[in-house]
Amino acid sequence: MGKDLWIAVPTYWTHPTSKPGPETTVFDHPTPLDEAGTLARTLESFTELKGDFRVLVVAAAAHPSLGTAVHARVEQLLAPFAGRLKLYLASPASLGALNAALDEPILKLDSYGNIRNVQLAVPYALGADAVVGIDDDEIIPDTKFLEHPARHVAAGVGGMAGPYFDSKGDWRIAGAEELEAEPNIFIKKNFFMNRAIGKAMAGAGPGGLSDSNVAFGGDMVMARRTIALVPHDPYIPRGEDYDYVINAAMAGIFWKFCPAMSIVHLPPDSTGSQAGDRASKLIADIRRFIYMREKLRLHAELFPQERFDPEYLMPYPGPYAAPGLDLPAEGIRALDAKYPEFRAGGASPEKLVREAVETARVKAREFFDYRKRWRAAMMGPAAGPDFRHAAEALGI
């Protein structure tokens, strides 16, 4: 097994059900503070894994006022595992100490991308050869699971992902095949995803890997050299996993897929893989793909030497970057078709997509600035004694 392998687990928390409150960050299914959630189940599955590894739990709050309570709640849940796993906890309560050890405070916990960057930075500072991202609503049934990232990273693989299986043992997104004839590109998203996953599952060669851009944040491996060069995008509303693969390709690092490196996905709000569907997800997807398209355009303009073949993004998410596609118009039509109550309630889909286009133009430029600052931090302060000391202090 690799010299230093880490598992990083993000966990998302919100107001107690008995005292609901505002949320500044919208997560798919955050756990109320007065519930136990699924984290303990995930950690329990880790106790059966073979090999030497460390576990970083990154706790995020849906509102800044919950930071202290979230830290205390997650610390309470980790306590029974302290003697069974090598545990570290990063939370809003410890973020200040981490940022104080950097030249500038680039670490945050207010978006999926930022949360996953904390997942990378802390193990990196403590010498990780690779970080395996696992979500808090999953379990790992295969006790030899870690042999896959250890072997492939040691062989020089910069990044890889594995499949999600649902409680019935199926990797396919429920209902996706029924969307084959759907004309709207946003409503058809799960069909594209199923095609991409199926291609990755069937394409593994003798070494057990396929060339694929498919990536799930809850079953994803980043090698040390990849972490040094490639951050998650803090500005992408969702889909930060596939987006990370794009960011890696911009750095000349191309993803692999390992069908044997599987997890079981047991989200609390569904019985099948990604079965949940809400207006907030569609809105985030509209913003996400408008942003992705602009980032790809700007990257080709600013960094022509880093350009890569767009076919790499097919069959998903490449269709959203197709030349001539009127993505804002598709977004408006999708909202009107799936959630007519959005417009009926007085909101304007036209305004939403217009703001998404304007935001994308600003944030895409900010990402490439962030990428520069990330690299400077990883190759400087994050590898130094002050940040390492702050990271070590997260141990439980």
Mean pLDDT of 369-381: 97
Whether the CA torsion 379, 257, 211, 275 is positive or negative: it is negative
Residue type, 353: V
Whether the per-residue pLDDT at 305 is higher than 70: the answer is yes
Mean pLDDT of 73-81: 98
Architecture of domain 5-276+369-392 in this structure:
Alpha-Beta Complex (3.90)
How far apart, in whole angstroms, are the C-alpha atoms of residue 319 and residue 334? Answer: 16
Mean pLDDT of 87-98: 97
Query: What is the pLDDT at residue 274?
Result: 39
Query: What is the pLDDT at residue 269?
Result: 62
Among 25-29, 179-183, 318-322, which stretch is predicted with the lowest mean pLDDT? 25-29
**Cβ(250)–Cβ(122) below 8 Å:** no
Mean pLDDT of 331-347: 96
Q: Tell me the pLDDT of the chain averaged across its residues.
A: 95
Task: Please state the domain extents for the chain.
Answer: 5-276+369-392
Q: What residues are paired with 55 via a beta bridge?
A: 7, 87
For 94, residues 6+ apart whose C-beta sits below 8 A from its C-beta are: 71, 390, 393, 394
